[in-house]
Amino acid sequence: MSRSMIAIVDLGSTENAAVAREIRDLGMYSEIFNFDVKPNELGALDGLAGIILNGGPNDVVDGEKIDVDAGIYALGIPVLNVAHDARSEYSAWPGDRKAVLDAFIEKTGKARDWNTDSFIESEIKLLREQIGSRKVLLALSGGVDSSVVAALLIKAIGNNLTCVHVNHGLLRKGESEQVIDVFRRQMGANLIYVDAVERFLTKLEGVSDPEQKRRIIGSEFIRVFEEEARRLDGIELLGQGTIYPDIVESGTKTAKLVKSHHNVGGLPEDLKFELVEPIKMLFKDEVRAVGRALGLPESMVSRQPFPGPGLGVRCLGAITRDRLEMVRESDAILREEFDRASLAGKVWQYFTLIPDTKSTGVRNNARAYEYPVVIRAVNTVDAMTAEVPEIPWPLMKKITDRILTEVPGVCRVLMDLSPKPIATIEWE
């Protein structure tokens, strides 16, 4: 099955990904290519319907102004040359960009055949072709990307997929239970649940430096996963939740660098896996749409970003079990109340964290020396900058009351009002 597609050639635009998304929104698949792509590489693409030469301000590489191989014009494929002929004026798309793209797609005369269902259908075929009767291993964290990869692989190869869910004790309330419920009970997946809570918390005891905490959590995770992999026989492939922004994030010229970062970094040499990356050409909103179409619960597909080291970087300083429970419980209350107030889709990320300093309170007419909890809620587009949205005061009071009465050991609730920059989103 060949699907129509538009190739976007990056001639220094800062908006390649935005253009690619808009084209896909208009129903045609699109991909971004480096400025030095060869005409025959483009010509060999299945279903190539049009080419966009996407000029922009970053048009000098290694001291030379970049340009495309003129052979591209000889391919006989419609070419849209954006701001490129003007040479000095790279900034503007003529008029309304979406309308320009819509007209260009129309001009190609090719079918608008990019949608969630057509992606799922063709990806499942491709997965079956790549995998055959071989077995695939997948680290299933319960995040959006790994969950959608799991759902696709279950559909494509059923029990030839083995999922490993490692509970490192730093997940949010109910997360491991949801992974087991959705994948093992509802989807019948072959799921290995590894309770590594004690192991992680013991390793982290007394460690207060945030970067060292991250390193321990990262390397211990790989070690646990590797032990599970060695226990299983005859697995040749490893599923990965790489998505398109991982590849194109900072321009196509960095694609190789970002990719290697997302490969099986750290797994030992003798554990050689071929990679299976079924969502590597999808943007995040497309990943969510695929998840919904495959029947994953909304709470899983619309999940907010959550750092790999989890609550480990929200339990400030050296992690203690009592404070870890306080941050987990207060975070669950915050999420529940934001959900109830229908803020879930309106605020980008919200969570609680707990400092490692006590403060004075009064409980049952006696002095109590307990912990404060901090609420962090931010809106952002790309997590590079962020602002604090206004949260209705009655809701803040309700959340505060609930945390103070329901979470033992907490006597104070604070709200972080700092934008990024200067403050980062996480405290560690």
- Contacts with ligand XMP by CB under 6 A lie at 214, 305, 307-309, 349, 383, 420, 424-426
Q: How far apart are CA 277 and CA 31, in angstroms?
A: 16
Shortest distance (Å) from residue 141 CB to ligand XMP: 10
Shortest distance (Å) from residue 108 CB to ligand XMP: 38
Shortest distance (Å) from residue 225 CB to ligand XMP: 16
Query: What's 11's DSSP letter?
Result: E
Q: How far apart are CA 287 and CA 256, in angstroms?
A: 22
Q: Which helix (H) or strand (E) holds 121?
A: helix 116-131
**Pick 33 or 350: Cβ nearer ligand XMP:** 350
Q: At what angle do helices 284-293 and 116-131 cross, to 10 degrees?
A: 90
Q: How far apart are CA 170 and CA 230, in angstroms?
A: 24
Shortest distance (Å) from residue 1 CB to ligand XMP: 35
**Pick 94 or 421: Cβ nearer ligand XMP:** 421
**Pick 140 or 161: Cβ nearer ligand XMP:** 140
State the DSSP string of 192-242.
Answer: EEEE-HHHHHHHHTT---HHHHHHHHHHHHHHHHHHHHHHSSSEEEEE---
Shortest distance (Å) from residue 384 CB to ligand XMP: 8
Shortest distance (Å) from residue 353 CB to ligand XMP: 11
Q: How far apart are CA 6 and CA 425, in angstroms?
A: 36
Shortest distance (Å) from residue 425 CB to ligand XMP: 3
Q: Please state whether beta strands 349-353 and 366-378 pair in parallel, antiparallel, or not at all (unpaired).
A: antiparallel
**Pick 368 or 383: Cβ nearer ligand XMP:** 383
Shortest distance (Å) from residue 21 CB to ligand XMP: 20
Q: Which residues contact 407 (CB under 8 A, 6 or more apart)?
A: 326, 329, 330, 333, 373
**Pick 386 or 403: Cβ nearer ligand XMP:** 386
**Pick 72 or 378: Cβ nearer ligand XMP:** 378
Q: How far apart are CA 296 and CA 274, in angstroms?
A: 26
**Pick 135 or 214: Cβ nearer ligand XMP:** 214
Shortest distance (Å) from residue 377 CB to ligand XMP: 12
CA atoms within 13 A on the CB side of 228: 22
Q: How far apart are CA 167 and CA 169, in angstroms?
A: 6
Nearest to 1 by CA among 148, 79, 117: 117
Query: What's 183's DSSP letter?
Result: I
**Pick 67 or 387: Cβ nearer ligand XMP:** 387
Q: Please state whether beta strands 60-61 and 64-65 pair in parallel, antiparallel, or not at all (unpaired).
A: antiparallel
**Pick 65 or 261: Cβ nearer ligand XMP:** 261
**Pick 193 or 427: Cβ nearer ligand XMP:** 427
The single-letter code of the amino acid at 70 is A
Q: Is 269 helix (H, G, I), strand (E, B) or coil?
A: coil
Shortest distance (Å) from residue 386 CB to ligand XMP: 7
Q: How far apart are CA 119 and CA 28, in angstroms?
A: 11
Cα–Cα–Cα angle for 9, 10, 13, rounded to 5 degrees: 135
Residue labelled with tokens 């922004």? 245
**Pick 95 or 421: Cβ nearer ligand XMP:** 421
Shortest distance (Å) from residue 126 CB to ligand XMP: 28
Please give the torsion angle defined by the CA atoms of residues 375, 379, 380 and 385, in that order, rounded to the nearest 10 degrees: -50
